[in-house]
Amino acid sequence: MYLASFSWKKAAEIGKKNGSIVAVLPIGSTEEHGPLGPLGTDHIIPHEMAARIEAKIGAKALILPTMPYGATPALASFPGSVDIGYEALCSVLKACVDAVMRCGVRRFLFLNGHGGNTPAIDTAALYLYRRGGQAAEIDWWVLSGQLRKEWMCGHGGGVETAVAMAVRPDWVHIEDLFDSEIVHLSPLLKNVHIHNVEFEGASVKMVRDAAYSIPSGDAGYEDAPSRANAKLGADILDAVTDYTIKFIEEFSKVDLTNHPYKEK
């Protein structure tokens, strides 16, 4: 079911008719994704996952409109990137929580496509909990690497580009492929992610503007954009979506009658 398809009168009855329904918010970002990936990578993937979820278990999931903007300050220097900031994102997510609560829905899944959204999602999840609900968050790119080691995903790398290719092949710019460029802080402080360096076998966060740490826009390393292909993307998309559907079905069974916070 899609929240946007209801009138306000029918929306008011959702929780009464199905008290175990899980609200699903596909959320991402509009930001650079390396030489091949479209700016919309982070929201078109959870959007597609949500559409597949609705098609398979529509009665158990209430799909909210996809959130295409997120908190992405480190990538804002790249043309086309949109950073709405933590505070604005928190406000929007809390408003979404309030909206579904008014429909009588107390279970909420944040279907996330962008790591920078996590602090705001955590804040909104606790906000929901303290109003008598329960939230969950699935970061599809983290899940993919947990399902299969070779599916570990780097920003703008081969896995993420491949899944974007499976969703919108016409938006992936194969003709623009060029070598990854990574700027290490020193010979012994080598970048291993956007904000992380490796030192003596451990990882330390050292925040920089990504335009200077990864000028090519992708995290490079072992997950190079050049390994992207539609078959890889389709396999990953199928697997993470199937897992998410199974999770929603289990989440819908969670008993909230003894929730420590009274429903408001």
DSSP string, 152-205: ---TTSHHHHHHHHHH-GGG--GGG--------SBTTBEESSSSEEEETTEEEE
Phi, psi of 20 (to 5 degrees): -100, 5
Tens-digit pLDDT profile for residues 64-94: 999 999 999 999 999 999 999 999 999 999 9
DSSP secondary structure of 96-159: HHHHHHHTT--EEEEEE--GGGHHHHHHHHHHHHTTT-EEEEEEHHHHHHHH-GGG---TTSHH
Sign of the dihedral defined by the CA atoms of residues 162, 163, 169, 170, in that order: negative
Instruction: Give which of 109, 44, 79 is closest to 252, Cα–Cα.
Output: 109
Tens-digit pLDDT profile for residues 89-120: 999 999 999 999 999 999 999 999 999 999 99
How many domains in the chain?
Answer: 2
Please tell me whether residues 195 and 241 are part of one structural domain: no
What one-letter code names the amino acid at 77? S
Could you tell me how far CA 101 lies from the centroid of its own chain? 22
pTM of full prediction above 0.75: yes
Average pLDDT over residues 167-177: 93
> Is residue 192 included in any domain, yes or no?
yes
Please tell me whether residues 100 and 209 are part of one structural domain: no
Which range of residues forms the domain containing residue 20? 3-181+224-251
